Amino acid sequence: MSSLNQKTLKNSVEIEGIGLHSGKNVKLLIKPSEPDTGIVFKRVDLKNNNLILPNFLNVTNTSLNTTISNEAGVKVSTIEHLMGALFCLGIDNALIEINNEEVPILDGSAIEFVDKLLVAGLKTSNKAIKIIKINKKIEIQEDEKNISIEPSKLSLDIDFEISFKDDFIKTQKNKINVYSDDLKDILNSRTFCLYEDIEKIKKMGLAKGGSLRNAIVVKDNGIVNEGGLRNSKEFVNHKILDCIGDLYTSGYRIIGKINCSQGGHYLTNKILRKLFSDNKNFSIKEIKERNLPNTIIDKSILRSIA
Ligand SMILES: [Zn+2]
C-alpha cells in the first residue's frame, strides 16, 4: 500500500509520566483511529465536553508550552513534543486518551514518544494523505522576533535561529528538511532553561514537575545536567521540534518553507492564524504518488531511529 496514504497506529500505546508545569502524574493511551479523523485528545478523567482538537484556533496559552482548550474550557497543555513526534512519524489519525490536564514531559524531548509509537507500529489506510500547500509568503515581525512561511516545491524546510545573551547558548542556527533529513537530533533534543530564570518560572506557577531529568539547565557557561548535551545544536534543535509540533495544529502536514528567528509557540500560532485567515494563502490537497515524485515521509527517518 502507498506510503502516501494516511497512517494510524497498529496497536494502542500507553505512556505514563509527570507534567512539566502541573507536576501531576498522567497517563496517556494513544489509540488507532479511522482515516480523516485526525489527532484528537480525550480527557478521560472528565465525563462531559472531554474532546479537545489540537487545532491552532484552540490554542489558548503559549507561555512556555502549547495549551489547547475546547469550548467548555477543558484543556490539555504541553502538547507540542507529542505532536512533533506524531508529525515526524507521519501519523495522521490517533485518539489520545489522557487522564489529566498535561501531556507528560518524559525526558523533555520527543524521543520516548517516538520509540513507543514505533513499537506500537504504524498501519496504513487506503485514504490519501492531505497536505497544506503554501501559496503566498506570510510574515510576522514583532520586536526582534520574526517568522515567515513561504511556498516550497515538495518539502517542509525549517530555518531557525535563536540568540541568547547567555555565553553558553549564544546564537544557534539550524536548517532542516523535515521530510528527508535524519530527524534524530531534532527528536532527541530536550527543553531548556537558564538557571537564573527558574525562580521566575516557578513564581508563574509553572515547571512544578521540572527537574534535571526533563530539562537542560544552563548555568556558569555550561549545563548542570550530567552527561552534557545530546548534540551540538540541542537548544535550537529543540526549538525546531517545538515548531514542528506547533505546525501540526494546522491539522495536516505542510509543504512550505519556514524562517524563524527568536520565535516560539506564540509566534508559530500567530503565523498559522494569519495564514489561514485568507484562503488565497494556502490550498489543501490530496497527495498521490503520481503527482508527488518523492515521498513525504522518508523511510530513513524510521530507520535511523528504530
Ligand atoms: Zn519544547
CA 1 to ligand 1 center in whole angstroms: 34
Domain extents in the chain: 5-129, 131-305
What CATH number has the domain spanning 131-305?
3.30.1700.10
CA 239 to ligand 1 center in whole angstroms: 6
pLDDT category of residue 153 using cuts at 50, 70 and 90: confident
Residue 265 annotated in active site: yes
Nearest Cα neighbor of 42 from 84, 70, 7 is 70
Its pTM stands at 0.95
Per-residue pLDDT at 2 exceeds 90: no
> How much is the average pLDDT of 57-85?
97
Residue type (1 letter), 201: I
Torsion of CA 102, 104, 107, 113, to 10 degrees: -120
Nearest Cα neighbor of 131 from 297, 242, 301 is 297
Nearest Cα neighbor of 101 from 131, 136, 60, 133 is 60
CA 128 to ligand 1 center in whole angstroms: 30
Task: Determine the topology of domain 5-129 in CATH.
Answer: Ribosomal Protein S5; domain 2 (3.30.230)
pLDDT in tens, 18-34: 999 999 999 999 999 99
One of 21, 81, 238, 265 is an active-site residue; which one? 265
pLDDT category of residue 70 using cuts at 50, 70 and 90: very high
CB atoms within 5 A of ion ligand 1 belong to: 191, 242
CA 109 to ligand 1 center in whole angstroms: 7
